[in-house]
Structure 1
Amino acid sequence: MPAQELPASRPVIEAATLSERAATLVEQDILAGLLAPGSRLGIVDLVQRYDIGATPLREGLSRLMSRGLIVGTGQRGFRVADISREDLLDITLMRTAIEIEAIRLAIDSGDDAWEAGIVSALHQMRRHIERTGDEFREGAEDFDRLHKGFHTALLAGCGSKRLLAAHSDLYDQAYRYRRVMMRSFDSGKKFVRAHQLLAERVLGRDVQGSQAMLAAHLRSTLDIVYPGGNER
């Protein structure tokens, strides 16, 4: 008896790949400021911009809705999410809740490899800033990768993939605000020193001190971008 032919899966895989690519391209342009907050995302315009079909584009935009970067507008329309103090406050509250728990778990369970990862991430970020001088800024691909890599390294020993995934998403959602915050740094040495102090506290296995310093570090973006605002 001839073997039953299995249904072809390649078109499904290709469709998923296209929607992922669409989501990545739109996300990059939002984070880079090329698609302004509040701007309408017309499917026809995006098809021409990215040379991707309308269906995978809509699927890609739907993915970004779940990450808070775009919002729906009526009949399957989309626009870039607005920026506001309320939004950044919400991101900061969520990041703080997630990251202070992740840092506690990491300090309790992290091994020598975790510690080495923090030291390496800090060193790479410091060397990059030394090479670029005071011209380092959020938006430069190498710096973005190293900055996020450092913050991820702090939490990497927590043992929870979901905590790390939530950290990654919220870190990216705060990106547009962090670009504004970075303008306040007039010295790469000050930036490195702030991160070095945080790393030293974590490597010292001081749970409460690390949580307090991390919470203040996360809060600094809100205080710099929206100074003097009121709490909820």
Structure 2
Amino acid sequence: MPAPERTLERPPAEAGTLSERAANLIEQDILAGDLAPGSRLGIVDLVQRYEIGATPLREGLSRLMSRGLIVGIGQRGFRVAEVSHDDLADITCMRTAVEIEAVRLAILHGDVAWEAGIVSALHQMRRHIERTGNEFREGAADFDRLHKGFHTALLAACGSRRMLAAHSDLYDQAYRYRRIMMRAIDSGEEFIRSHQMLADRVLARDLAAAQGMLAAHLHSTINFVYPPTSGEQS
């Protein structure tokens, strides 16, 4: 008796790859502003947009929910997370808590290779700005990778992969706000100078100064995006 035909199923590894690809494509469009804050993410529309099946798309959306880029709307599906002062303040609060501790551990445990990584990341940002001029102020993805690389380098020796993962997710969640902030930067020289000062404090292993400057640096995004009105304190 011949064996019954088996329906071909996508191997689990391929399914995982498709869900990762779906998450990456949706994330890119959210961060670039092509999927506006608050917009509904209908599965049928997404299938047509990305030419990926409904199941890996749902899995990809679930990944982005855990990272705070999209939210569920009950039984009605998903939508892009809104932007607001409260949301940015929450991101900044969490990011400060994580990075203040991570930089403490990095200063405590960092070696010469860690120091070299910070110097290299800062140099790459500086050279990019020298080559491209004010293009960096548009929040371009290639420059943002270098910017993220610098902030990651400061924390790289902390010894906690969970702290580094939290830093990465929170940094990405702030990207939509950071694009607005970058347009308010007056010059590349000033931008590099502020990061050079931060690097100098960390490399000098001046813990109190490094933590204080890092906290102020992270908080500055709020003041750029939502400038305090007269009589308000930031």
Output one character per residue of 1:141-167: Cα deviation in whole Å (capped at 9) or x when no partner.
Answer: 320110000000000011111110000
Aligned to 1:153: 153
Aligned to 1:15: 15
Q: CA deviation at 1:138?
A: 4.9
Q: CA deviation at 1:228?
A: 1.5
After superposition, the CA RMSD in angstroms is 1.7
User: Percentage identity across aligned positions?
Assistant: 78
CA contact (8 A) 2:70 2:78 kept: yes
Q: Distance in 1 between matches of 2:149 and 2:138?
A: 13
54-63 or 220-229: which moved more?
220-229
Aligned to 2:224: 224
CA contact (8 A) 2:139 2:182 kept: no
Letter in 2 for 1:179: R
CA contact (8 A) 1:138 1:144 kept: no
Task: Give the alignment of 1:8-87 within 5 angstroms.
Answer: 11-87=11-87
SS in 1 for 2:113: helix
42-51 or 207-216: which moved more?
42-51
Output one character per residue of 1:37-69: Cα deviation in whole Å (capped at 9) or x when no partner.
Answer: 000111111111100001110110011011110
Q: Distance in 2 between matches of 1:44 and 1:92?
A: 35
Gaps of 5+ in 2: 1-7
Q: CA deviation at 1:181?
A: 0.6
Q: CA deviation at 1:74?
A: 2.0
SS in 2 for 1:38: coil
Q: Distance in 1 between matches of 2:60 and 2:186?
A: 37
Aligned to 2:5: none
Output one character per residue of 1:169-226: Cα deviation in whole Å (capped at 9) or x when no partner.
Answer: 0000001000011111121101000100000010010001000000000000011111
CA contact (8 A) 2:137 2:185 kept: no
Letter in 1 for 2:109: S
Q: Distance in 2 between matches of 1:140 and 1:82?
A: 21
71-80 or 58-67: which moved more?
71-80
CA contact (8 A) 1:134 1:186 kept: no
Aligned to 1:106: 106
Aligned length: 225
Scaled by the length of structure 1, what TM-score is found?
0.93
SS in 2 for 1:136: helix
Output one character per residue of 1:112-157: Cα deviation in whole Å (capped at 9) or x when no partner.
Answer: 0000000000000000000011221354232011000000000001
Aligned to 1:202: 202
Aligned to 2:181: 181
Letter in 1 for 2:199: A
CA, structure 1 residues 9+105, in 2 after alignment: closer, same or farther (shift >3 Å)? farther
Scaled by the length of structure 2, what TM-score is found?
0.92
